[in-house]
Amino acid sequence: MDIAQAIRERKSIRAFKPEPVPRGIIEQVLKLAVCAPSAINLQPCEFVVVAGEEKERLSRTLLKAYKEKQISCKPATVKPLPEVYRQRGIANNKAMEPYVAPTGLPFKQFTNEGSFSFYGAPVAILLCIDDCFSRAHLVDIGISLGYLLLSAHYHGLSTCPIGLIAAYQDEIKEALNIPENKRVVNGVALGYADRDNPVTGFKSAREDLDKLVRWV
């Protein structure tokens, strides 16, 4: 598989088999993920791998916190979302709804509770950064995340990045004994896709280049 193939084929999966992922394969995935570039090669991205009963316990903790706080999936913005982006989100959700319908769950319940259960994946990988770094270094975390997703696909695994869990980082840090000076930036559901579940058939669309690129 070449890099172009991995980029074209990879998609977020929201239904996983309970089959465990061998530690050796996870290590191979991470060996490629840590090849990601970072400013001055500081390599600020730290990975926390959670599997087995600890992952199930983390999911229960997050679901409980969600029921109390009700912080749900929505764009993280500092001012009102321009209409072009709002319409993209609406279009994406409408396209996904027919794939979610067979689960019998309301769309918002599926996406919110699914996020906190990592969509049933046997492994959750959390991406963290030391709080000594400014927000500028979150770019490094994003690059590492991209490498991680493509590396997993190359190794025959499926993923779904989950940003919502960062809103519950206090609960995560307490549950996993993550030091106070670390920030939980993102999470990734990792495992083998349940291809029998209709929701795995969904792949989000992308805009044409002329809507995203400006040539100077």
Distance from C-alpha of 4 to C-alpha of 180, rounded to nearest angstrom: 39
Among candidates 65, 74, 53, 23, which has minimal Cα distance to 172?
65
Per-residue pLDDT tens digits for 126-169: 999 999 999 999 999 999 999 999 999 999 999 999 999 999 99
DSSP-based three-state secondary structure for 19: coil
- Dmax over Cα atoms in the chain, in whole Å? 53
When divided into structural domains, the chain yields a total of 1
Q: What is the mean pLDDT of residues 91-120?
A: 95
Both structure tokens of 16: 């996983």
- Confidence class for position 79, pLDDT limits 50, 70, 90: confident
CATH number at residue 144: 3.40.109.10
pLDDT at position 78 over 80: no
What burial class does residue 61 get, using C-beta atoms within 10 Å of its C-beta: 0-12 exposed, 13-18 middle, 19+ buried? middle
Both structure tokens of 60: 């229960």
Helix (H) or strand (E) holding 123: strand 123-130
Q: Does the residue 14 lie in any domain? A: yes
- Confidence class for position 102, pLDDT limits 50, 70, 90: very high
Q: Which residues pair with 48 in a beta bridge?
A: 126
Q: Does the residue 214 lie in any domain? A: no
pLDDT at position 72 over 90: no
Cβ 178 vs Cβ 48: under 8 Å: yes
Q: Does the residue 210 lie in any domain? A: no
Instruction: Classify residue 81 by its DSSP letter.
Output: P
Q: Which residues pair with 201 in a beta bridge?
A: none
Domain containing 192 equals 3-72+82-202
What burial class does residue 138 get, using C-beta atoms within 10 Å of its C-beta: 0-12 exposed, 13-18 middle, 19+ buried? middle
